[in-house]
Chain A
Amino acid sequence: MLALWRTLSRGVWDQEHLWEVGGCLSADHAIEVEQLTKRFGDVTAIDNLSFTVAPGEILGLLGPNGAGKTTTLQLLLGLTTPTSGVMRVLGLDVQKQRRAVLQRVNFSSAYVALPTNLSVWENLNVFAHLYGVRRPRQKILALLELFDMPHLARCITGALSSGQLTCLNLCKAFLNDPEVLFLDEPTTSLDPAIATKVREMLQHMQRERRVTMLYTSHNMHEIERMCDRVIFLAQGRIITQGTPHEVLTRARSASLEELFISIVQHGALWKPAETTEDV
């Protein structure tokens, strides 16, 4: 009977099929996006986007609301199917080998929460099972130690502060020792002290474990401090990219914030000559 279900709903199960992971890893790039386009009806959310992220690199994805940052993350996580183009994460095709990719990456967002009616330990234990973590107890204890919250293990998640919730989300995100971490505005709604602690924690993890990170944020200071490289998006296209220093020099801007405002006001880089070169 199960076989019959699988046959008749082939579209679902084939996409979910877990492929062999070994032997197909591209060592050059942790993330490769080639000519990615996503249209929702008449609206083009992502327009022929191509970029790569090197292993261990932190790439900031910037742009005004509606620029296509979140859609790019959703496409890379296989939540949305592209209209055209190819995405590879750790050398694996996101569309064809989605579950193999998901086993090796993780995601944290200020807009996604863990169930508030479970304890911290219970939430992490459930996700340890979902990611097939060996020795989940030891792993959870180690992560709680790392994020300085072992005393909260038995606390109900709903009783945690915003900062503690962010740390719990990050604990969940590091449960499977991800090689690539997708972070969607992870420090939104945190006070400056907690936000700094979270950033330090992420930088520590990146140094220790060489985790590749794709980072979206509206906090330009945070992006300048955290990211090795940034990509500015507007209307689904890359406006400019490079290290924060390169981008600022090219645009003759004093800060990423100034550049951001300029892009929002003009819909593109203010200086056309540099824009053509960048794109």
Chain B
Amino acid sequence: MWWRVGGLVLRYIYLHRRSMARLGEILFWPVMNLFLWGFITAYMQRLVLPNVVIFFLGSMILWDMFYRAQVALSLALAEEMWMKNILNILIAPVSMFELVLAMGCVGASKALINGVVLGVLAYVLHAFNLLSLGFTLVPCFINLLLFAWAIGMGTMAVILRYGGGGAALAWGLPFLIQPFSAVFYPIDVFPSWLQIVAYALPSSYIFESMRAVLRTGSADPFMLLTAFGLNIVYLTAAAAFFGWMLQRARHRGYLSRLGMY
């Protein structure tokens, strides 16, 4: 199995090695984002709450890691479809589980590279040390990754059924989730009915934990465990949805239409 997963990962290493646009996707846009939020933060520090606005940078970096991991998985099938290569993949002795696992690894690597580059730049340019989150950074990263995989798998399932049109979800879905994930503000700013929505998303607990660490030096382990539990629920639902859509796509002949005729 790992030989085949390695083969799929290798395909993406080759792809990124010679494409400036793809390297830019990992490095350029996130760095631009960091500049933007860095200067907003610097400006707000001069105006109000100098110790609090630094949260923005931590939030921006963690959100960007989530976004990259999610897009890598979501667009895996769409990309093969656009290249007319998807049938070659689907008729190779590769299971969908291996495909999802490989793309999950690619997404995790991208998120990690992203986090390291942005973390270093944030420290150098804006004196924000991401490592000040301490050990909490590890469960935060794992939880964000798991949530990104759940969203990515759901998007892949939609692409299996609806083809290229479903790819719009890959870019759009994170921005649908973002306002309710309490990325840049705490959950208690929401009206009570929206707080229910926020508490149903693992991402809310992660960003609340991050703010708690920056504010008090420690996070509530219960919050991170709740995020993990919710992630298991989301991953299980996404895997079941993916399986159902795959069966429907096979039954209705959609798979063979992806990127061929």
A residues with CB within 8 A of B: 1, 4-6, 8-13, 16, 18, 38, 40, 45, 70-71, 74, 77-81, 99-100, 102-103, 106-107, 109, 111-119, 122, 125-132, 172
Contacts and interface: CB of A to CB of B under 8 A. Distances in A.
A16 to B, nearest CB: 4
A117 B96 contact: no
B253 A71 contact: yes
A81 B251 contact: yes
Contact of B235 (A1, A18, A128, A129): A1
Interface in B209-261: 232, 235-236, 239-240, 242-244, 246-247, 250-253, 255-256, 259-261
A11 B260 contact: no
Contacts of A81: 247, 250-251
Given A107-B91, A128-B7, A132-B4, A40 B253 contact: yes
A117 B15 contact: yes
Contacts, number: 137
Contact of A74 (B6, B19, B242, B256): B256
A126 B10 contact: yes
Interface stretch (B79-87, B127-135, B161-169, B193-201): B79-87
A79 B90 contact: yes
A115 B11 contact: yes
Contact of A115 (B85, B92, B253, B255): B85
A122 B14 CA distance: 7
B95 interface: yes
B87 A130 contact: no
Given A13-B95, A16-B95, A81-B251, A8 B236 contact: yes
Contact of B236 (A4, A102, A116, A125): A4
Contacts of A11: 243-244, 246-247
A103 B232 CA distance: 33
Nearest to A1: B232
Interface string B62-95: 0000000000000000000001110111111111
B139 to A, nearest CB: 15
Contacts of B84: 111-113
Interface residues of B, number: 44
A9 B236 CA distance: 8
Nearest to A108: B88
A102 B95 CA distance: 11
A115 B83 contact: yes
Contacts of B93: 18, 99-100, 102-103, 130-132
Given A81-B247, A116-B83, 12 more contacts: A5-B97, A9-B244, A38-B253, A40-B252, A74-B253, A79-B256, A106-B91, A113-B85, A118-B14, A118-B15, A129-B8, A130-B94
Contacts of A70: 256, 261
B92 A131 contact: yes
25 contacts: A1-B235, A4-B236, A5-B235, A5-B236, A8-B240, A10-B243, A11-B246, A12-B97, A12-B247, A70-B261, A71-B253, A74-B255, A79-B90, A80-B250, A106-B91, A113-B83, A113-B84, A117-B18, A125-B10, A127-B92, A129-B6, A130-B8, A130-B94, A131-B92, A131-B93
Contacts of A6: 97
Contact of A114 (B6, B15, B85, B239): B85
Residue among A100, A102, A129 having the largest count of chain B Cβ atoms under 10 Å: A129
Contacts of A102: 91-93
B250 to A, nearest CB: 5
